[in-house]
Structure 1
Amino acid sequence: MKNITTSFVLVFFFNLIAAAQGTLLVGNKEDNTLSFIELKQYKVVATIPVGAGPHEVAVSPSGKMAAVANYGNRAGAGKSVSVIDVAGKEVVKTIDLGEYLRPHGMEFINEEELLVTSEANKVLLRVNIRSGAVSEVAKTDQLTTHMVTYSAADQRAYTSNINSGTVSVIDVKNNALIRHIQLKPGVEGLHVSPDGKELWVANQKENTNTVIDTRTFETMHVFPAQPVAYRVGFLPNGKYAAVSNGGAGNVSIYDVPAKKWIKDIDLVTEPGKQPVPGGITASADSKWMFICTTGMNLVVVIDTKTWTVAQRIDTGRNPDGIYYSKVNVQ
């Protein structure tokens, strides 16, 4: 009995040591809140109010600051960004975007500047979170400019334009639209690889995942995907990518260098209930991947060594936007 107890205690402490470090920030669209999830113990330590319809979240390179896109809801279009002190777990500023409505996709380009799509205005914005200044980076003039991903390697941004079926390539340094890559209507989730050489684009209507060479803008590979391929996320080490399949209730894992499908991870937790996997983020050490499941109000933690579900964490209602910060909160 003593040996069994000792073994249990050792396994328990090993699991604590092996747990992820840092914090997850999760936007709960229906509650108009942002949750802070402490990853050492996998628990929500704070939930704070933000604007209406917080669709997407972004975190600065240091992990100290975050931003939330207040997209709005059926009652009206949102036009603001909430700026968050991660360690303090508080909103320190709300930036009014003025004429620019339906802010959605977000990415920091440095500690002070943030890229934000304005879906209604068909434009990519630059927002300074310290001064509150808002300026246009480039007009896409495409329908439903939704998500954005940024490559520090060449200072380019890529926006998915859902109804136009295009990806806009934007030179952020020079505030210039370079070109549109024509795909098909339904393009939505996208993410540029950590080395900046590949752009992966999921199409929720075509159920495909397209890999584009960012030097030539040519298609390198097209993976068939599960129904409603919704979001794409790379591990920071660039070795693997994931696509969340909102209609299938699972997440597809791909070997990036080999351009090979690895497996689908089923996120169903209760018979008869259908999770809707959405936003994807990963820990800085690439050991853990985190997926929002909108249909079941959960964040699912995936162990990237075994590609199995390690933990499920309750959130607010309708979580979607999610981002990892290496800052530990209590």
Structure 2
Amino acid sequence: MVSSLIAFSCLLAPVDAQEIILVLNKAEDTVSLVDTVKQVEIKRVPTGHGPNEVMVSPGGQWATIANMGNQRADKTITVLRMPGGDVARTIDLGNFARPHGMAFLDESRMVVTTHELDALHIVDVEKGVIEKSIVSPFKGLHMVVLSPDKKMAYGSCVFANKAVAFDLVKGEVAWSVDCGLRAEGISISPDGKTLAVGNMGADTVSIINVASRKVTKTLSGMPQPIRTFFVDGGSRLLVSSAGTGEVVVFETRSWEEKKRIVMEKLPGMTGDDRHPPMNYALSRDGKRVFVVVVSADLVAEIELASLSVVKTHKTGKLPDGIAVWTAER
């Protein structure tokens, strides 16, 4: 009864925070809205089944949640109206089940991948419809990022071990690059010139030159590099080494390893075990990055100047996707 009352009170709590992280609790089919200044969860909202990824629109009006499912597939996107976090609508993708990676094109349209039928879709989140679908010939289309001009999208294909490029203007697959086994995480440098693909099965990260469409560097020494993320204007790359419970930092000019930030003995953790880091989200000022620490049920807030954890934020069970909303746009 007490837990029910707490949950209910969270749903009614007013949202006046200046910075909110939205964290998907995959084991609970919910999303937590956490005030990063006060370090408190201000709201928890039901989602579809198995929420995996979340994105906030450029103007901050919407947050979208890809409900991928677990053993049972889902085929929906939950759309929240921000900053309140109320569900505005649920978009049914029809035959295209297991949505996952997302990226916003503008305030009302985004791209989203679907694992089943392996396609990239342009979705109008206000109208709740698919505008266009581009079918990929490669299996396991997973994460997606956009070029700075929003004319190209780049996806990771976890079963085909490739990165694939989509021409959004022509509505077709443009090219692909072989990466390593289980190419899962993908990120793009702010200038759009470099892709970093985490190969979970190969324990490597493929660095791809977009202009030449070739792998120019392979980073190693990180078991299960599930996510990659460029920070500091592209001068550094963060890699989630799930197998060692570390965020590994590389200088992109030389691709030399700078530091390993260990996910252990942080506030909110119990025991001495290391916990696997996963998804990232950047603060609006670019000075801090939030990383989900899956098995610890928390988010670690890393100060980029010192490359150290300065705060932790509690979440629900099995957190996964994360995004940042700020009052200042």
Equivalent position to 2:179, from 179, 183, 193: 183
Tell me by how many angstroms 1:236 deviates.
6.1
CA–CA distance in 1 between the matches of 2:94 and 2:191?
35
- Contact 1:299–1:313 (Cα < 8 Å) also in 2: yes
**Is this contact kept in 1: 2:262–2:274, CA < 8 A?**
no
C-alpha displacement at 1:53, in angstroms?
A: 0.5
Q: Which residue of 1 aligns with 2:254?
A: 258
Q: Identify which of 68, 86, 100 aligns with 2:82.
A: 86
Does structure 1 conserve the Cα–Cα contact (< 8 Å) formed by 2:180 and 2:206?
Answer: no
Q: Quick one: structure 1 residues 21 and 222, their matched pair in 2 at CA, closer, same or farther if it must change by over 3 Å?
A: farther
1:1-330 alignment to 2 at 5 Å?
Answer: 22-74=19-71, 76-153=72-149, 155-235=151-231, 237-269=233-265, 270-327=270-327
Corresponding letter in the other structure for 1:222: T
TM-score, with structure 2 as normaliser: 0.90
Aligned partner letter, 1:29: K
Per the normalisation by structure 1, the TM-score is 0.89
- Structure 1 range deviating more: 255-264 or 60-69: 255-264
Contact 1:64 1:87 in 2 (8 A): yes
Stretches of 4+ moved more than 4 A in 1? none
CA drift of 1:39 comes to 1.7
| Offset, 1:87 | 1.0
**Letter matched to residue 36 of structure 1:** L
Distance 2:143 2:111 in 1: 10
Contact kept in structure 2, 1:169 and 1:179, CA below 8 Å = yes
> Letter of the aligned partner of 1:293 in structure 2?
V
Aligned pairs, number: 308
Report SS of the residue matched to 2:295. Answer: helix
CA deviation string 1:238-272 (max 9, x = no partner): 22221111111111111223322211100112444
Q: With CA pairs under 8 Å and 6+ residues apart, which has the higher RCO, 1 or 2?
A: 1
**Aligned residues of 2:53 and 2:322 also touching (Cα < 8 A):** yes
Contact between 2:243 and 2:276, CA under 8 Å: does it hold in 1? yes
Does the 8 Å CA contact 1:56/1:106 hold for their aligned counterparts? yes
Q: Which amino acid aligns with 2:49?
A: A
Instruction: Render the CA deviation track for 1:96-143: whole Å, top value 9, x for unaligned.
Output: 001100001111111111111110111111110011111444211211
Contact 2:31 2:45 in 1 (8 A): yes
Which range moved further: 209-218 or 272-281?
272-281
Residue identity matched to 1:324 = V
CA contact (8 A) 2:105 2:150 kept: no
1:40 CA drift (Å): 1.7
Q: Deviations over 1:176-201 (max 9, x none)?
A: 11011112221100011111111111
Which amino acid in the other structure matches residue 30 of structure 2?
Answer: T
Quick one: distance in 2 between partners of 1:236 and 1:85? 30
Matches of 1:175 and 1:187, distance apart in 2: 23
The residue identity in structure 2 corresponding to 1:268 is E
- 2:161, 2:181 within 8 Å by CA — same for their partners in 1? yes
d(CA) in 2 for partners of 1:310, 1:205: 31
Q: In 1, are the aligned partners of 2:235 and 2:253 still within 8 Å (CA)?
A: yes
Q: Residue 154 of structure 1: CA displacement?
A: 5.5
Q: Which amino acid aligns with 1:295?
A: S
Q: Per-residue displacement from partner, 1:275-297 (whole Å, max 9, x unpaired)? A: 12111111121110111011110
Give 3-state SS (helix, strand or coil) of 1:237's partner.
Answer: helix
Q: Distance in 1 between matches of 2:108 and 2:28?
A: 28
Q: Distance in 2 between matches of 1:324 and 1:223?
A: 28
